[in-house]
Amino acid sequence: MALYVYAITGKDHPRHPDGLTGVGSHPSAVRTITEGPLTAVVSDVAEEIRPKRRDLQIHQEIQEHLMAGAVVLPLQFGYVADSDQSVRQALEENAAAYLAALERLDGCAEYHVRASQRDEEQLLRDVLEESAEARELNDRIRAGDQDPQLPLALGELVAHDVQERQEALAAGLVQALTAYAREHTVHPPAYPDFLNLSLLVPHEKKDDFLTAHKGLTDQIEDGVDVRVAGPLPPYSFVQ
């Protein structure tokens, strides 16, 4: 029977998954497989596991249960092994890398910071107010100038200005917040976000990090929404 693999921990991890059930339409008990200094947290599955809401939630709940006890290497949703033996073999062959990763992540949690433009109309007004060139093009259009190139020129100018503003703001947020992180990674943002940042924050710096985030959000101009999520399993930092 195939195995769904949730995470890898040290063999002495204090939080056992006793009583937990796993993913799938007929969920089985969550159990562990230990090989040398490492343990894999798994459950038996008899079907292809798809990202349904319930299974995504179960996957996350098991990660959080484990993370509350000690450091874990969380696997992304959907990782399946074909047997206990293949899991033991993976633990044995990759022991050095897994142990190094556990040491690197120990005492930390992941936080996500995303920023988006909440009020695009306000941003457009700001561009027109602060850019003489954009204001001139807009005034000509409003006055009835029929030049077909004007709307295109104005759109390109505004888009360029908006991109520059957002890139500068994103860079400032990254610089300020990474001071509290052991590691960080910047992901490609998905609209409407213009920043998607993951940070590996030591537990002892959590309060300082959240205070810094609040201070930054208070300083940023109206119309920009900066959101933080965490603590989370350190998916972004498992190599």
Q: E strands, the chain, where?
A: 2-10, 31-35, 38-45, 73-74, 80-81, 108-117, 183-186, 193-202, 224-232
pLDDT at 97: 96
Element (H, E) at 149: helix 149-177
Decide: 88 and 4 in contact? Cβ < 8 Å.
Answer: no
Rama region for 32: left / alpha / beta (φ>0; ψ in -120 to 50; rest): beta
Distance separating alpha carbons of residues 189 and 87, to the nearest angstrom: 34
Residue 137 burial (CB count, 10 A): 24
- Is the pTM higher than 0.85? The answer reads no
Which residue segments constitute the domains of the chain, with CATH numbers given?
2-106 (no CATH), 109-237 (3.30.70)
pLDDT at 118: 73
pLDDT at 222: 67
pLDDT in tens, the chain (239 residues): 799 999 999 999 998 888 899 999 899 999 999 999 999 999 999 888 999 999 999 999 999 999 998 999 999 999 999 999 999 999 999 999 999 999 999 999 999 999 998 766 767 777 777 777 777 777 777 777 777 787 788 778 777 888 888 899 899 999 999 999 999 999 999 988 999 999 999 999 999 999 999 998 888 866 788 999 999 999 999 97
pLDDT at 124: 73
Distance separating alpha carbons of residues 38 and 94, to the nearest angstrom: 10
pLDDT at 119: 66
pLDDT at 18: 84
Residue 221 burial (CB count, 10 A): 11
Residue 29: what are its φ and ψ, rounded to 5°? -65, 140
Decide: 233 and 110 in contact? Cβ < 8 Å.
Answer: yes
pLDDT at 125: 73
Tokens 């038996």 belong to residue: 44
pLDDT at 221: 67
